[in-house]
Chains A and B, each alone.
Chain A
C-alpha cells in the first residue's frame, strides 16, 4: 500500500500541484482571483461549453449506436462472434493519434469521402463525434454487453408468465438490472470524451478546442501558465465529480444480480427482425470501425513499393534527429518499462484494496487511482518537467521519465482488471494455506498468484497498449532524439507535404498493428468478460 501511495504522491500529485502553483502563485501569494478572471473570459467560456456539449453529444451518440451492438453480442450467437468481439475492442486501445489520423484519412482533405463525393467533415464537429464513437464503441459493448449476456433470461420469462408483454418484461426486469451498467459505461465514455486530446487536436482544427487541447495550447504555444493552471483545476474538479458518480454506479452494479454463464444465454437470431438487427449492427461496425482503419492502411500504401514505409527508415534531418522507424524501438522499450511499473504499482494497490478489512481510507484511494485517467495528461507531462527537474529528484534527462508518465495512465487499467478477480478469491483459501504453514508471502504466491495470473496478463496487456498510445504527457517529456510512435505521427502530420502525410499513415498503421496484436493475444487469455474494460 505504501508504494502505490508514494508513487502517486511523487509522480502524480506533486507534478500537478507544482504546475498549478506555478500558474497561480505570483511572488509567493496565491492569486485565486485568477480563477474567476479566466473563467469569465469569453473564449474560455466557449471552450468549456464546447467541451461539455461535445462530450454529452459523443456519449449520447455512442450509446445510441453501441447499445444495439451490446444486445447483439450478449444475446445472439453467430459465426465469427469471438473474432468480431476482439475486433471491436481494437479501437479502444488504439492511440488517439492513430484514431485521429484514420478519420483524417477518411473524412479529411483528400480523404476517401472527399474523393468520392467531395464531402469533407474534418472541419465540422461530426468528425470529432464519429471518432469518439469509434473509440468508445467497445466500452459500451463490453460493460453493458458483458452484464447483459450474464443476466438470466428466465427472469424475463418469469415476468412473462406473470402477464407482462415482451416489451414490458424488458422494461421492468432487464432494463433496471442493466441501468447501472449503462450508467457506468456512459460515464466512462463521458470521461474519455470530456478529456479528449489527441482526437480533437488532430481533427478539431483551429475552430474546435476542448479543455485539454486548450491547456496544451496555453502551455506550449502561448506560455500562459496561469490560464493553463486554472483550466487544469476546472478539469480536475469536473473529473472528480464524474468519478465520484462513477464509483457510486459501480457499487450499485455490484448488487446481487442472478448471473449465469454468458455462453448459455446466447442463441441464433430468429425471425426477420432479429436478422435485420444483426445485419444492421454488423454494417455499423464495418462502416464505423473497420472502414477508417482500412482507409488508414490503404493510404499508407499509396506510394509505390511501400514508399512511405521505406521513407520511415531514412533520416530526414528536419523533423527528427533519428529515422522515424527508430521510434518503434523507443516506443516498445518505453511501453515495456511503463507496463512493468504499472503492473507492479497496480497489483500492489489492487491487493491492498481487495482486502476485506480495507478501511475507509484505503477505499478512498480506489477512486483516487482513477484520477490519472481524467486529469489533463498535458498537465501531468508539463508538471513532470517542472517538478522533477531539481534535486532531490532530477529526472529530467533520464529516460525513465516517459515510462513513469505512461505508467500513471496504465495503473487504473491494471487496478480495474485485477480488483474484481482478487475480490473473488475466497479469503478462506488463504487461511487454509496459512494454517498449513504458508507464510503471508507464500500464501500470495501459492494461492493468489495462480488464481489471478490470467488477470495479471490481461492487465499487463492493457497497460502496454495504453502506454504505447499515450500522447498527451509524452509529447512534452519525450526528448527530441527519442520520440515515441504517437509523438512522431503527430509531428509528421504537423508538417506539410504528401511524404510526411504518407509517413504518418504508415507509422500509424504500424502502431495499430502492434496494438491489435497485443489485444488479440489478450482476447485469447481473457475468460471473464464482466471486467470493466
Chain B
C-alpha cells in the first residue's frame, strides 16, 4: 500500500475530529473522501501531509511510519482548497517552487515548468502575475505546482470547490484523464458527490470523523450502507419498516424488497425511480404536493394520507400537476435495505 492510515485519531479539545480512521490507498489509485463539512475530511489530508499531528494511530507511506517526519520531508503534494498561490511570485515562480526546494537546477526548473504548464493547458503563462489569473486558471496553476516535484501521493482539498458549475464539470473530466495518463496516486476530499463519483476509483464517505462507507462509486450509489450515507447522497425516501420474506411493512404500506434481504425491523431506502405512479384508485393514494424540474426528469413530491412524504422521479410528459390525486406502487429493484447506522 502506498498510503495506510491505522487508527488515525485527531482530537481538538476532547472532540475527536478523526476517530480511529483506517484507510488504505494503493499505488495509482484515485480515492475520493466524501462528506459534509465538519466530517473531518480536511483534517485527514492535513494529517497525511504532516500539517496536523495525530493524537493517536499512525500514518504510513510506502509502509514507513511517518510519525515525527515533518511536512517538508514527506514528499506528498497538497492542493489547497483556495489554491494558496504565492502572491509575490509569478506563475512560473509558483510552479517552480517545489523544484527549487528540492534543489533542481535552473534549466531543469525551466523545462519542467514549461512541460507542466503545457499539461494543465496554460502554455506560455510562466511570466504572468498570479493576480491576473481567473479562478479556473489559478486552479490549473495550483495543480501544476503540486505536481511539479512529482510527489508520490497527490492530495486535493475540494479541488474544484470555488469554480462555477460548467467549468467544474469540464475540469473534473480533464483531471480524471490527466491522472490516468500520469498514473498519479490521488487522495481527494470533497463535499460534492458529483465531483467524487466522476473523479474516483473508490469513494470513502465520512461522517463525524469516522468512515461510514467505502467502495466504488457505483457500489456506494447503488447500495448506500446506512441512512446517513443515503441521505447525504440526496435520497430522502428513507423509512422504517419490518422486513418479512420479500416484502416490508412500512408506513407506505407493503413494499417489496430484493431477494435475500435481511429480515426484521430495518431502515429502507426507496429510490425516486422506484416509485411508480399509477391511477389514483390503485396502490398507495397520494396527493401531488410539489413538482421540481430536474433537467432530465421531474421530481414529484407526494403526500400520502397518514404517512411521511415521498419523492418520485418521472418523465416530464407523464408528470402529474400539483393537487392531482395519484396512486403509488414500488419497484423492488430500486429498494435498498439499509444497514444499522454506525453511531459514533
What residues of chain A have their CB less than 8 Å away from a CB belonging to chain B?
426, 428-429, 431-440, 442-443, 446-447, 450-451
**The one of B76, B82, B86, B87 that contacts A435, using a Cβ cutoff of 8 Å:** B76
* Nearest Cβ on chain B to A246's Cβ, whole angstroms: 30
Main secondary structure of the interface of A (DSSP, over half): helix
Q: Could you name 23 residue pairs across A and B whose Cβ atoms are closer than 8 Å?
A: A429-B86, A431-B78, A432-B78, A432-B84, A432-B86, A433-B86, A434-B70, A435-B49, A435-B50, A435-B72, A435-B74, A435-B78, A436-B97, A436-B101, A436-B146, A437-B75, A438-B97, A439-B72, A440-B72, A442-B72, A446-B97, A450-B88, A451-B88
A426 to B87, CA, bound (A): 11
Inter-chain contact A437/B101, CB cutoff 8 Å: yes
* Nearest Cβ on chain A to B232's Cβ, whole angstroms: 27
Q: Mark B44-76, 1 if CB is under 8 A from A, else 0.
A: 001001110000000000000000001111111
Inter-chain contact B98/A437, CB cutoff 8 Å: yes
Closest partner residue, chain A, to B142 (CB atom): A432
* Nearest Cβ on chain B to A465's Cβ, whole angstroms: 28
Cβ contacts under 8 Å, B73 to chain A: 437
Inter-chain contact A436/B145, CB cutoff 8 Å: yes
Inter-chain contact A428/B101, CB cutoff 8 Å: no
**Which one of B51, B71, B97, B98 has the greatest number of beta carbons of chain A within 10 Å?**
B71
A428 to B73, CA, bound (A): 17
A447 to B88, CA, bound (A): 9
Closest partner residue, chain A, to B145 (CB atom): A436
Known contacts: A436-B97, A437-B149. The answer to whether A426 contacts B84 by CB under 8 A is: yes
Cβ contacts under 8 Å, A429 to chain B: 84, 86
A433 to B100, CA, bound (A): 11
Cβ contacts under 8 Å, B148 to chain A: 436
**The one of A428, A437, A450, A451 that contacts B72, using a Cβ cutoff of 8 Å:** A437
Cβ contacts under 8 Å, A426 to chain B: 84
Cβ contacts under 8 Å, A431 to chain B: 46, 49, 51, 71, 78, 80, 84
Closest partner residue, chain B, to A432 (CB atom): B84
* Nearest Cβ on chain B to A144's Cβ, whole angstroms: 30
Cβ contacts under 8 Å, B98 to chain A: 436-437
- Beyond A433-B101, A440-B70, 19 additional pairs, beta carbon < 8 A: A428-B80, A431-B46, A432-B80, A433-B86, A434-B51, A434-B71, A435-B74, A435-B77, A436-B97, A436-B101, A436-B146, A436-B148, A436-B149, A437-B72, A437-B73, A437-B101, A442-B72, A451-B87, A451-B88
Closest partner residue, chain B, to A434 (CB atom): B71
Cβ contacts under 8 Å, B46 to chain A: 431
Closest partner residue, chain A, to B52 (CB atom): A431
Known contacts: A431-B51, A431-B71. The answer to whether A438 contacts B101 by CB under 8 A is: yes
Q: At the interface, yes or no: B127 with Cβ under 8 Å from chain A?
A: no
Closest partner residue, chain B, to A453 (CB atom): B88
Q: At the interface, yes or no: B294 with Cβ under 8 Å from chain A?
A: no
A175 to B70, CA, bound (A): 49
Cβ contacts under 8 Å, B343 to chain A: none
Cβ contacts under 8 Å, B49 to chain A: 431, 435
Q: At the interface, yes or no: B317 with Cβ under 8 Å from chain A?
A: no
**The one of B74, B80, B101 that contacts A442, using a Cβ cutoff of 8 Å:** B101
A438 to B89, CA, bound (A): 16
A431 to B46, CA, bound (A): 9
Q: At the interface, yes or no: B102 with Cβ under 8 Å from chain A?
A: yes
Which A-B residue pairs are the 8 nearest by beta carbons?
A436-B98, A437-B101, A434-B71, A432-B84, A435-B78, A450-B88, A438-B101, A428-B84
A435 to B45, CA, bound (A): 11
A451 to B86, CA, bound (A): 10
A144 to B40, CA, bound (A): 43
A432 to B83, CA, bound (A): 9
Closest partner residue, chain A, to B49 (CB atom): A435
A440 to B71, CA, bound (A): 10
Cβ contacts under 8 Å, B71 to chain A: 431, 434-435
Cβ contacts under 8 Å, B149 to chain A: 436-437
* Nearest Cβ on chain A to B13's Cβ, whole angstroms: 13
Closest partner residue, chain A, to B157 (CB atom): A428
A431 to B76, CA, bound (A): 12
A342 to B101, CA, bound (A): 31
Cβ contacts under 8 Å, B88 to chain A: 450-451
A438 to B72, CA, bound (A): 5
Closest partner residue, chain B, to A435 (CB atom): B78
**Which one of B72, B76, B82 has the greatest number of beta carbons of chain A within 10 Å?**
B72
Inter-chain contact B51/A433, CB cutoff 8 Å: no
Inter-chain contact B86/A437, CB cutoff 8 Å: no
Query: Which of chain B's residues 78-125 have a Cβ closer than 8 Å to chain A?
Result: 78, 80, 82, 84, 86-88, 97-98, 101-102
Cβ contacts under 8 Å, A435 to chain B: 49-51, 71-72, 74, 76-78, 146
